Amino acid sequence: MSKCEQCIVREFSALKALNKDELLKLSDCKTSFSVKKGEVIFEEGDSLDGIFCIKDGVCKLTKLSSNGKDQIVKLVTKGELLGQRYLISEEPANLGAVALEDMQVCFVPKSQVMEFFNANNKFSLSMMKNVCHDLKEADNILVNLAQKSVKERLAIALLYLEDTFGLNNDDSLKIQLSREEISSIIGTATESCIRLLSEFNKSGLIELTGKKIILKDKKGLRKLAE
């Protein structure tokens, strides 16, 4: 089990504000575990008694809609923390978290997190900033769903996937999402998403090879996204 003070991913979250003694405490109380692709980390409605630090891998945060389908609200990658908002608000999780690929995750119990929160101003301020950033992102998603066309939202999503998760050696998007997952991100039916991807492919904006997607005309995609 790696020690928190030696872990690089802590630099990407509020954990970077912890001092050496606090990091030693964190190492003593955390639990590290693996999550397989498709496995649930927590479900909507769960009462969380700690936070999860993503050491490696990607998960999706989903909300069950009225038609019984999961809407993907956010993709979370290594270095990010899950569950901060629910610890502060003391409310059950209003989103579920499911692994999109094999993951390495550390769990820190609520009692230890709140000790840091009350004793370390930099840590508590950093956590609050992260929560505010998530709310800002949620506002932007609402605006995009209300004001952007499905075609525009698909262009935004494809550029986001490249900017956030990078590319494979063959220039395809590193993170491979199913057509259903992409349609969930942009808020449309899977059939419409498949049709639009085919349209983008024919017009030269992207290249489809099986499940792989290559962004061929990023300038065109950015113009469409604006």
Give the pLDDT confidence of 6-42 residue by residue, as tens digits: 777 878 888 898 988 998 898 899 999 999 999 999 9
For the chain, give every domain's residue range. 4-114, 148-225
For residues 11-25, one letter each, b for 16 or more C-beta atoms within 10 angstroms of the residue's C-beta and e for the rest, the string is eebbbebbeeebbeb
Give the pLDDT confidence of 63-94 residue by residue, as tens digits: 987 777 788 989 999 989 999 989 888 899 99
Cα separation of 127 and 131, whole Å?
Answer: 6
Judge if 4-114 and 148-225 fold alike in CATH terms: no
Give the pLDDT confidence of 124-160 residue by residue, as tens digits: 999 898 888 888 887 777 777 778 899 999 999 999 9
pTM of this structure: 0.83
Class of domain 4-114: mainly beta
Cβ-contact 142, 97 below 8 angstroms: no
What CATH code is assigned to 148-225?
Answer: 1.10.10.10
Cα separation of 102 and 99, whole Å?
Answer: 7
pLDDT of residue 9: 80
